[in-house]
Structure 1
Amino acid sequence: MENVKPGDKLLIHAYKHNGNLYRSWDSGVVLESNSEGLVVINKDVLITEISGRKWKTNEPAIWFFFKESWYNIICMFKETGINYYCNLSSPYIVESNTIKYIDYDLDIKVFNDGSFKILDLKEFNRNRINFNYSRTIVETVWEHIDKLKEIIKEKKGLFDHRYVEQIWNNFIKNNFS
């Protein structure tokens, strides 16, 4: 992995299990790089789908990538409060100024009130057959779904709005835009 430091601007690439790139973000600003992972800020970012469709993010967000966990978490600052989008994925790597991970289809959307919903189960079941996910990958994804559900219910760490707001205020204070 490359040496990543606060203020660095990196591309973000999500791949499918077969190695094909399916979505990219044109930039993320690194707020923090530590032994557990990366904290990246997204603000007015252009997203490109493999289909060629392009769109921009609607709200600022903090994106947490982990070196050991099979998920990444996006904290989105919406008018209604902070919502979270948890992507079940491989741990990330950084290559050629790009954060890269394999997306394993399942997602958990967490609403401002702490309620949540598991998304894309049909896509996961279809892709685990089409891409021949190993039993270990399937079990690891479900194990991390269970871990996320537990953390979400406790409203601790990344799912504590005050903690996320503190990180956002740190970004504003350091003015990495």
Structure 2
Amino acid sequence: MSSFRRMGIACVWRTIWSFTSRARRNEGRRSRCVCRAGRCSVCPMDDVRVLKRNLRGEVTWQYAGRILRREPNAVVLEAHFNLPDMPFLDTTLKRGDRFVETFYTDRWYNVFEIHDRDDDRLKGWYCNIGLPAVVDGDTVSYVDLALDLWVSPEGEQRVLDEDEFAALPLDETTRRRAREALTELQAAFLSGWRPPTAMGEA
């Protein structure tokens, strides 16, 4: 996400996320699914905290989200953009834009699907290359490796932050796995793959 910082938004991730008004209204019911069947894999459930870590394991940013779906190897959550509107690459991020984020415990990336606040129009996918996520109770954490991929709704791809990735003190295996993850993501999007939604497949 360092691309935002290069645009002059140095603290973008310090205040980027907030609970939805629906989440606030449902406070106290976070452990019940709306289908009244108890916990299930598709109904909104728990509030969670997402921790982004650096190579030393230090938390560089954290924010709250709401679980939409759990799978054996993935978790899908929702959060909302809460900064003033700002341009980003070929789109504009608006206060209230909906982010559907998929974190995998067996893949070296996570994917943020961004929807417009007004009409829920898809704006694109922001993909972070990093170590596989760790899901522990109400916490989702991952180690960010700087390398990012942006995919527009039309499928146009743009690799970001390659200079920062090159500067990281990574061992040969980690650097190779990160590059392989980027290649995997690029090929997946080219083939028509899309990350899961609350009702989708991981």
Q: TM-score range by the shorter chain?
A: 0.7 to 0.9
Structure 1 residues not aligned, in runs of 5+? 47-55, 159-163, 172-177
Distance change in 2, residues 1:44/1:149 (3 Å) = closer
- What is the CA distance between 1:81 and its match in structure 2? 2.9
Partner of 1:83: 124
Call closer, same or farther: CA 1:87–1:41 in 2, change over 3 Å.
same
Q: Is the 8 A contact 2:101 2:111 kept in 1?
A: yes
Rate the CA distance shift 1:88–1:155 in 2: closer, same or farther, 3 A: same
Q: Of 102, 107, 126, which residue of structure 2 is paired with 1:64?
A: 102
CA distance in 2, matches of 1:93, 1:138: 20
Residue of structure 2 equivalent to 1:50: none
Q: How do residues 24-35 of structure 1 correspond to structure 2 at under 5 angstroms?
A: 24-25=62-63, 27-35=64-72
Bigger-Rg structure (1/2): 2
TM-score between both structures, scaled by the size of structure 2: 0.65
Distance 1:44 1:120, change over 3 A: closer
Distance in 2 of aligned mates of 1:45 and 1:12:
16
Q: Report the secondary structure of 1:32's partner residue.
A: strand
Instruction: Give 1:109 shift.
Output: 0.6
2-structure distance, mates of 1:18, 1:93: 15
CA distance in 1, matches of 2:164, 2:62: 19
Judging by fraction of residues, say which structure has more helix: 1
| TM-score (norm. length: structure 1) | 0.74
- What amino acid does structure 1 have at the position aligned with 2:55? H
CA RMSD between the two structures: 2.5
Deviations 1:36-55 (A, max 9, x none): 21011112568xxxxxxxxx
Q: How many residues align?
A: 146
Give the whole-Å Cα distance in 2 for the aligned partners of 1:45 and 1:14: 18
Structure 2 residue corresponding to 1:102, chosen from 135, 139, 143: 143
Q: What runs of 5+ residues in structure 2 fail to find an aligned partner?
A: 1-39, 84-93
Sequence identity (%): 21
